[in-house]
Amino acid sequence: MAGYRALAAVGRSVVTLLNAGFRAEIPDGPRRPEAVLAGPVDFDRVGTTDALIRRPAVTVYCYRLSVDHDTRPAWAALAAQDGLPRLPLRMHLLLAAWDEVVESELEWLGLAVRILESAGPLTGPLLDPTGGWLPGDTVQIVPDELAMDSMSEAFQAMTTDYRLSLPYLARVVRIDGRRFPVPGEVTTVAVATSELPR
């Protein structure tokens, strides 16, 4: 994987995947949801004239980033050999549906789950090209385990009311650093000296 654009590229990839699935499942009609990559500011603007979220919609919100401790030791060992630091990350996502009635919101969440579970790992053309991906790069989108109190804390940090949401995890998104020179082998040379007689 490449540099700092990889995280945003994964977010765009998930949104593109969902929208393609929505169009395939609901080819026509005004009641098709649109997936958008959103944040707390966008939640606060729902219902205003400049709102990004327009019902019906499904939002993809990255509420947390964490280090992937399962793969970090292997990447650190490789960096010691080739001089390229790499940080494997996990993106913690919340999917929420927005509509006028709760039944429709549940339908849109169910449809989003169907699309994500059917797609498998994001790779090749499913990854947004702005990420600068290398051949063979893959990002898994899997359901995440999130306790109710953690879900509430995520919404307490925002001014918007609590929304029924589905937690997902994007793993592993690797950010590559700048290459540093790998030190060569150190050779110790001993030089014998003797004192001259006085």
Residue 197 has pLDDT above 90, yes or no: no
Let me know if residue 90 belongs to a domain.
yes
pLDDT tens track for 11-28: 999 999 999 999 999 998
79: three-class secondary structure by DSSP:
helix
Let me know if residue 188 belongs to a domain.
no
Geometric angle at alpha carbon 78, from 77 and 80, rounded to 5°: 65
E strand or H helix that includes residue 66:
strand 57-67
Average pLDDT, the chain: 86
pLDDT tens track for 90-113: 999 999 999 999 999 999 999 999
Let me know if residue 84 belongs to a domain.
yes
Geometric angle at alpha carbon 36, from 32 and 40, rounded to 5°: 130
Let me know if residue 191 belongs to a domain.
no
116-124: long-range contacts, CB 8 A cutoff, minimum separation 24? 116/14, 116/17, 116/18, 116/141, 116/168, 118/21, 119/17, 119/21, 122/10, 122/13, 122/14, 122/17
Let me know if residue 37 belongs to a domain.
yes
Q: Residue type for 23, please?
A: R
Residue 150 has pLDDT above 70, yes or no: no
Banded model confidence at residue 185, pLDDT cuts 50, 70, 90 = low
Instruction: Give whole-number Cα distances, 144 to 14, 25, 147, 151, 189, in Å.
Output: 15, 25, 10, 12, 56
Let me know if residue 69 belongs to a domain.
yes
**Predicted pLDDT at 161:** 73
66 forms beta bridges with 90
In the chain, the number of structural domains is 1
Residue 128 has pLDDT above 60, yes or no: yes
Q: Which domain holds residue 117?
A: 6-176
Question: Model-level pTM?
Answer: 0.84
38 and 60 Cβ atoms separated by less than 8 Å: yes
Let me know if residue 189 belongs to a domain.
no
The span from the CA of 68 to the CA of 21, in Å, is 29
What's the CATH code of the domain at 143? 3.30.2000
Q: What is the dihedral of CA 42, 47, 48, 51, to 10 degrees?
A: 40
pLDDT tens track for 40-97: 899 989 989 999 999 999 999 998 999 998 986 775 766 677 777 888 999 999 999 9
**Predicted pLDDT at 1:** 53
